[in-house]
Amino acid sequence: MPGLTTSSMHDARDAEDQRLLDAGELSLLVESYYGVMLDRCRARVWPEADAIGVAAEVAIRLLSELKRGRRYRVPFRVVVHKVIGWKIQEHFSPARVKEVELEEWLQEASTESQSELEPDAGFDALLEGLTELEQEVLRLRYADDLGFQEIATKLDKEPNAVHQIHHRALTKLRGAAA
Amino acid sequence: MELLFDEFATRYVRGEHPDVREYLERAGPEREELGRLLDRFLEAVPARATSEEEIVLMQARLEQQPPILLLRLRRKLGREAVVAALVGQLRLDPGKSDKVGGYYHDLEVGNLDPEPVDRRVWDVLADVLEANVRGLAVFRPEPPGMTASAYMREPTMPALYERVSVFPEEANAIEPDEIDVLFLGP
């Protein structure tokens, strides 16, 4: 991935998703997200059989939506992540309200554009709540794949200072994720 | 925990395929917190490519079919070819191919607990089926009729397998041999 910005990679992915949608390759489109479905479900749900089960529910929901002819005005990857998040929540609190909320969101996503709905769930969303410097360090580390020494040189800071900024940023992310 | 996150994230953005489960295991009591952090990260970064094993695993779950069987059919291999590879590569007695075939059948359809199966068996299966077969074996479908939800995709292979062991029952009554130990553990 080095050399490409996360934004350009998302754009390339969105274009490929649209191509598959236009070609009616709905199973292939959903399959192409199996990896991230499994990764995210494994991160939050265990044992393994339950994680696979939740990932399968995500796949079933997405495919049935697409086969019913529903199309979205937001990038498909945004829909994928939304459904993953909802299905994980549903696993922990299997209340009917989650399904209703998801249905409402999917309805809106098929009629409202991205900007009307909510910001793109891209890399910037991960950095919300961090200072500019913290954001820059995480961007250089996890989007540009730079080592701490390279980041220090780029930001004209001591490597120790970069480590501290990185630590502060991750502490905030941990807090936000909790 | 931060070191684990950093290692996972940098490997991920380099295009590697770090295993979430391995990192959670290493996190010990911080497993849940690391899981939430990884989840946020995975939501934010461009999704990696899906591996063929993941496609097989999900297809197996969705169609309630055994993943090793689906993989073998994907490879267009007969069961005999896999059994021949096991017998040949493990230098087993060719006269006991039927017994190996019985164990392989049970393993393939999820009738045999994969846990005690010897690493050498997995190595041969990985070689002949060109995939991490041990990783796929973790999913064992429910017996037919037990499935609560059905996948809307048309079944590609109806009645793919029978959840009936073909392994001769009387084998349990005799002294375990090398083949028993390979598949059932010491």
Q: What band does B147 get if pLDDT is binned at 50, 70 and 90?
A: very low
Check B152 against A60: CB less than 8 A apart.
yes
Check A46 against B61: CB less than 8 A apart.
no
Check B43 against A38: CB less than 8 A apart.
no
* Residue B178 structure tokens: 């090398």
Cα gap B67→B133, rounded to integer Å: 9
Q: Which amino acid is present at A5?
A: T
CB interface of A with B, residues 22-41, below 8 Å: 27, 31-40
What is the pTM (predicted TM-score) of this model?
A: 0.81
The complex scores an ipTM of 0.88
Q: Do A40 and A84 form a contact (C-beta atoms < 8 A)? A: yes
- Search chain A and give the residue with CA nearest B19: A39
Cα gap B110→B138, rounded to integer Å: 9
Q: Where are the alpha helices (DSSP H) in chain A?
A: 6-22, 26-31, 34-44, 48-67, 76-92, 96-111, 114-117, 123-126, 132-142, 148-155, 159-177
pLDDT in tens, A75-127: 899 999 999 998 998 898 876 666 777 888 888 888 766 666 565 567 777 88
- Search chain B and give the residue with CA nearest A82: B43
pLDDT in tens, A46-74: 998 899 999 999 999 999 989 988 888 88
